[in-house]
Amino acid sequence: MTGHEKQIVVGIDGSESSKTALHWAIRQAKLTGAAVDAVLAWRYPSTYGLAPMAGSEIDLEGDARKALIDSLNEVSALEPDVKVRPLVIEGHPAEVLVGAAKDADLLVVGSRGHGAFTSAMTGSVSIACVLHSHCPVLVVRDSQS
């Protein structure tokens, strides 16, 4: 693929598995000269608006942005020469990641995140990414999976 910047998309949700995936993606980007798009998807809870929520100022997008920055601060300093773009996008995590990786060279996800539905080995988001992505997908297992 000549003429375009190599791109690795990695899904982040603040879990240890996603931090392991971020670390792997950054190391791979260093080896291949790629940029990394660190993507955190957020969405309103399905019950949002049905009942009063405690506190008058709820900033779900801001909370997501903070979680992403916290993850990046933990991991991205390991390879300061790698270009890492933080992206916070509203939507279902699998749909957001597949969309963000549409023109990417690789999509990297952790094997288990903070999602509510997981199988014994791999989470529902990682399975959906494997099934629907337009690029290769690497599912990284952390030491606790």
pLDDT score of 54: 58
* Structural domain spans, the chain: 7-140
Is the pLDDT at 51 greater than 70? The verdict is no
| 7-140: CATH superfamily | HUPs (3.40.50.620)
What's 134's DSSP letter?
A: S
Residue 45: CA atoms inside 13 Å, Cβ hemisphere, count? 11
- Confidence band of 121 (pLDDT split at 50, 70, 90): very low
CA 77 centroid distance within chain? 17
Answering whether pTM is above 0.95, one says no
Spatial separation of the C-alpha atoms in residues 91 and 21, rounded to whole Å: 20
Q: Which of 89-93, 111-115, 122-126, 129-133 has the least mean pLDDT?
A: 111-115
User: In sequence order, what DSSP letters do the residues of 74-120 get, joined into one string?
Assistant: HHGGGSTTS-EEEEEEES-HHHHHHHHTTT-SEEEEESS-S-S-B-S
The reported pLDDT for the residue numbered 62 is: 93
